[in-house]
């Protein structure tokens, strides 16, 4: 397959200014797709945007991904964070990259193209650990990160489990599962006055935090240390822990 010929022949495709071997097209008024060849010319790096399109930001994402594509092409990681990104006017500090098994781009209309395509999207360092398995990467990419939005907010990597004796709400099983940061904050705030309850969570570094409610006090366990924590401090603890 001549990848450049395939991409440039997409309906309505036009070259991207100031980015070599890259093309942009819109399958419908809602979506804009932009693709660029990898440095070896055998892989497609693609940004799919829904809604507002920013050509300069998209070009910067693809240029950064291409400059570092040796860190993910052929490496077998389903979800990768390429750090060191900066673009004026945005707070994104990372470029996210997902494999074909995760993104599904072109899977129906051109499986051969899909197999050599990497989804590129704007991201934050707090969102991707690089240790996600395929199932976890699929869930993060498709259900949580909103990779096709250029104005999205940060969705930190949070895995948690909890049990609240007062609200009788709890997670299922003994393993930690992905959750929004807002859920972590809410469950921590509900610990006060709920003896026997706990919230345990993990960040992208694999560091585990836990708060237990004794009824009279809340105790924070982190890095093998256990210390009292005030209810008013929990919001700060949660946000600081996931960075």
pLDDT digits (tens, 9 = 90+) for 195-205: 999 999 999 99
Q: Residue 189 burial by CB count (10 A; 0-12/13-18/19+): exposed, middle or buried?
A: middle
Both 185 and 140 in one domain: the answer is: no
14 has pLDDT over 90: yes
- At 224 the pLDDT is 85
Are residues 96 and 122 in contact, defined by beta-carbon separation less than 8 angstroms?
A: yes
Q: How far is CA 77 from the centre of its chain?
A: 14
pTM for the model stands at: 0.94
**Residue-averaged pLDDT of the chain:** 96
Number of domains in the chain: 2
Both 122 and 168 in one domain: the answer is: no
What is the C-alpha separation between 61 and 196, in angstroms, rounded?
47
Give me the domain span that covers residue 213: 159-241
Both 92 and 127 in one domain: the answer is: yes
What is the C-alpha separation between 207 and 12, in angstroms, rounded?
47
Both 137 and 203 in one domain: the answer is: no
* Phi/psi of residue 184, nearest 5 degrees: -60, -50
Query: H helices within 15-147, ranges in order?
Result: 55-67, 100-103, 111-115, 134-139
């Amino acid at each position: 397959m001549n990848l450049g010929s395939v991409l440039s022949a997409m309906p309505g495709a036009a070259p991207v200014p100031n980015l070599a071997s890259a093309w942009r097209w819109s399958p419908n008024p809602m979506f804009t797709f932009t693709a660029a060849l990898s440095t070896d010319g055998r892989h497609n790096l693609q940004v799919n945007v829904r809604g507002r399109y920013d050509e300069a930001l998209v070009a910067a994402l693809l240029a950064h991904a291409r400059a570092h594509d040796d860190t993910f092409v052929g490496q077998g990681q389903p979800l990768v964070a390429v750090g060191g990104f900066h673009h004026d006017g945005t707070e994104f500090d990372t470029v996210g990259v997902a494999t074909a098994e995760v993104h599904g781009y072109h899977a129906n209309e051109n499986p051969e193209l899909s197999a050599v395509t990497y989804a590129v999207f704007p991201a934050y360092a707090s969102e991707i650990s690089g240790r996600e398995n395929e199932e976890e990467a699929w869930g993060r990419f498709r259900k949580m990160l909103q990779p096709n939005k250029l104005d999205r907010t940060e969705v930190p990597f949070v895995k948690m489990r909890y049990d609240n004796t007062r609200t009788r709400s709890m997670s299922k099983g003994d393993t930690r599962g992905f959750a929004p940061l807002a859920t972590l904050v809410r469950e921590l705030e509900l610990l006060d006055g709920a003896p026997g309850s706990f919230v345990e969570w993990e960040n992208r570094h694999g560091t585990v935090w836990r708060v237990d409610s004794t009824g009279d006090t809340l105790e924070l366990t982190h890095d093998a240390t256990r210390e009292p924590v005030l209810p008013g401090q929990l919001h700060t603890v949660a946000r600081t822990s996931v960075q």
